[in-house]
Amino acid sequence: MTRMLRKIIDFCKNPETLRYLLMGIATTAVSLLSYEAARLLGVPYQAANVISWICAVTFAFFANKFYVFRRKDASLPVIVREMAVFYGGRLFSLALEAAVMWLFVDVLHLHDFIAKCAGQVIVFITNYLISKFLVFRK
């Protein structure tokens, strides 16, 4: 158990992990704020979730590319390839989050903002793995 705990601590102290955490917090803020703005405008919760996804993923792509994983190549072919894989991976996490929200809101009858926050935890972990091992791999 101590060895596993040590690995988790070392992982969390890694500069890339810390940058991802910081940008993940910023991306989550973009997602939640755009979601709430859409809801205040009367947009249904699932449509508001898609709007917040578009805002958050666009922000996250550039934050992850240039700040977290420090990829410098900004040529059009590289940007297009990375964006295609990045958005594709994020579509998967959007579907995952939509399922969580449906379960929490429509089945368990919890408040949609609570469902959104719970979904964000799952999305955060899934998106890191996709970015690290598929999009911005070394």
End-to-end CA distance of the chain: give it in Å, rounded.
30
Segment 28-73, tens digit of pLDDT: 899 999 999 999 999 998 899 889 989 999 999 999 999 999 988 8
C-alpha radius of gyration, the chain, whole number: 16
DSSP 8-class letter at 41: T
Q: 121-138, pLDDT tens digit by residue? A: 888 888 888 988 888 877
